[in-house]
Amino acid sequence: MNIIWYHPSMSAEVWLEGMRERLPGVSVRHWQPGDNGPADYALVRKPPNEMLAGRHDLRGVFALGAGVDEIMAQLRDNPDLLPDSVPVFRLEDTGMAIQMQEYAVCQVLNWFRRFDDYRQLQQESRWLELPEYRRETFTVGILGAGVLGQSVAQSLKPWGFPLRSWSRSKKQIDGVTSFAGQESLSDFLQGTQVLINLLPSTPQTVNIINASLLAQLPHGAFFLNLARGAHVVEDDLLAALESGQIKGAALDVFQVEPLALDHPFWRHPRVTVTPHNAAVTLPGESMDYYAHAITLLEAGEMPAGQVDRQRGY
């Protein structure tokens, strides 16, 4: 069995050695330009087209991360690059869920306890006790109810906030009010005090968070983006922040990364910026998944995480 690996920035050695330990006797190599050798499986992030072109015998392609938008975009632009018969897999958790939970809980509590407001008062040297938010009306709405969305919802349950989710199809999540389909999006937004974005990145979700959507939230709502920068019309978000429609935003992802030095998000008093690290790929946990998935495929079974190439996630 032969596995090829490619990532534009990660060190290859940790991954090659780790996969060899987990799959003894298997050939695992760092793909380089000009490598047309045999390959049964590919582990990739932003692979050059040359890496996959003509490899019609691949038994599986695995994304080195939770998002598959980059490779799906490649396949849309190059329909003949990879036959439909070759399954593509995403990482469904492998340690990312707990990281997303930490980020979301920390930020929601930061807003609920008004630490953002107290930070500004501190800068003004003002001793002022602010009215508290009411827990029963501090509704948290999660856009996207996949593995990570459901995990974040579960992590917020112990804090007693009303929880709701919106997704393409209706989900049954204990303690969470589920909305599904475009026709229910307005109902989902009305009353959502904190909007958390965990949508998959597809052509249908690009720029979904725009002036029209933000205007349907209660005045003074909060926005947390843990998914992709492509979901957000940044000028619309800035306008909503300036008007007070959105009281605060925590952004981990952006239309262009790294965020330009002159971007107004850096200096906006109501915006928190982090460098796309809300949940990072953990090599150990990820390699455990890849090794297990490949073992299942070799046994004729289908592992979790297969991407629906029509939907894009």
* 162: Cβ contacts below 8 Å, ≥ 6 apart: 136, 137, 138, 139, 140, 177
Exposed, middle or buried by CB within 10 Å (0-12, 13-18, 19+), for 53? middle
- Per residue in 18-32, pLDDT tens? 999 999 999 999 999
Give the mean pLDDT of 246-266.
98
Give the mean pLDDT of 178-189.
97
* DSSP letters for 17-59: HHHHHHSTT-EEEE--TT-----SEEEESS--HHHHTT-TT-S
- Per residue in 266-285, pLDDT tens? 999 999 999 999 999 899 99
- Dist. CA 185–CA 213, nearest whole Å: 9
Give the mean pLDDT of 290-309.
96
Q: Output the CA torsion sign for 79, 81, 85, 86.
A: negative
Active-site annotation, residues: 228, 276
Per-residue pLDDT at 94: 80
* Backbone phi and psi for residue 29, each to the nearest 5 degrees, phi listed first: -135, 155
- Per residue in 201-236, pLDDT tens? 999 999 999 999 999 999 999 999 999 999 999 999
With 90 as the cut, is the pLDDT of residue 92 above it? no
pLDDT, mean over the chain: 96
Tell the residue number behind the tokens 């937004």, with chain if given: 189
- Per residue in 124-137, pLDDT tens? 999 999 999 999 99
With 90 as the cut, is the pLDDT of residue 93 above it? no
With 80 as the cut, is the pLDDT of residue 308 above it? yes
* Backbone phi and psi for residue 109, each to the nearest 5 degrees, phi listed first: -65, -35
Tell the residue number behind the tokens 């974040």, with chain if given: 152
With 90 as the cut, is the pLDDT of residue 310 above it? no
Using pLDDT thresholds of 50, 70 and 90, give the confidence band for residue 95: confident
The pTM of this model reads 0.91
